[in-house]
Copies of this chain bind each other. A is one copy, B any other.
């Protein structure tokens, strides 16, 4: 990112754009030509999907099991659509049965949307099954892969996902600010056949395609964030060098070590084991421990940031990320040792060293 900025229509940069698209397709496991980084954070990637695929009056069924599906509802309504929410408990995967029932009750549904990996709770949903159900009913799918891309198995083409977005700063371990996204032919057709223009000019897929996806033309749309794209390119090169299946396995292995340590410390996971996301570990804050004080000491004294609970889990849970470059055994061991120290200092009953030993036993 510190390399000299070149023009966003410079031939050198245009060559890098092509590389970047190839690397992104590989990470998303797709042949979709329209696979590109949206020039803004993942919230804008989400908006790009809804603003293009939802027209006024369109029904969208949203499976809600955390904070980010609530944001999807906002997006649908602001696009003029009708959001039908299918509720699951926070901390659980989306229930495919409920989706089937909702689609049976609402045969006019155009789009099904859900979060693959809920960052607010640490739950992983079965995207393959959900997309199969949606497609059987003739619906388009919008999938939030902000926390899954690069960390958990994700197969855009094999699972038949129509529109998907992610973030640069989660399991890709790039800096925040870009939203990798991919759109299949059915999604592009829906965007092109709209009766009304998308509300957003900045995120209009048909215009973005002119810069990112129409042969060598590269028509100016907006000025691409050149240096940020250098960073994303490098992050994708690193992922490619590791191999994405190896990255998935690494995330799982380090999660197992962390889990052993946290359980040895007496902490319990919010999400049932079979639905647990390896890269986002939500655990219940031990009784009597001050949330803000613990996180503050962990950051201030140990240089480690863990996430607070969001939405209805605020103040009740901690969210421990093991994403991308952070998913390493030495970081897991360091976190466990530091968390033991902080909890002991805050008066919790902690057997110092037990968590580290338990994790170490998984890693050796």
Q: Which chain A residues have a beta carbon within 8 Å of chain B's beta carbons?
A: 1-2, 5-8, 10, 39-44, 46-47, 51, 71, 74-75, 77-79, 167, 169, 175-177, 197-202, 220-228, 231, 299, 305, 310
Contact = CB atoms under 8 A, between A and B. Distances in A.
Given A78-B198, A220-B310, A41 B39 contact: yes
Contacts of A199: 51, 78-79, 199-200
A97 to B, nearest CB: 30
A4 to B, nearest CB: 10
Which secondary structure dominates where chain A touches chain B?
loop
A175 B227 contact: yes
A353 B198 CA distance: 53
Total identical chains: 2
Given A41-B225, A223-B169, A227-B177, A77 B197 contact: yes
A7 B1 CA distance: 18
A11 to B, nearest CB: 8
Q: Which 6 A-B pairs have the closest CB atoms?
A: A177-B225, A40-B40, A43-B222, A199-B199, A175-B227, A2-B2
Given A175-B225, A197-B78, A202 B1 contact: no
A181 to B, nearest CB: 14
6 contacts: A7-B305, A39-B41, A44-B222, A177-B227, A200-B200, A228-B228
A224 B176 contact: yes
A223 B78 contact: no
A71 to B, nearest CB: 7
Contact of A78 (B71, B75, B167, B201): B201
A175 B228 contact: yes
A143 B177 CA distance: 25
A135 to B, nearest CB: 27
Contacts of A167: 223
A201 B220 CA distance: 25
Given A41-B225, A78-B199, 5 more contacts: A43-B223, A44-B44, A47-B200, A175-B226, A227-B231
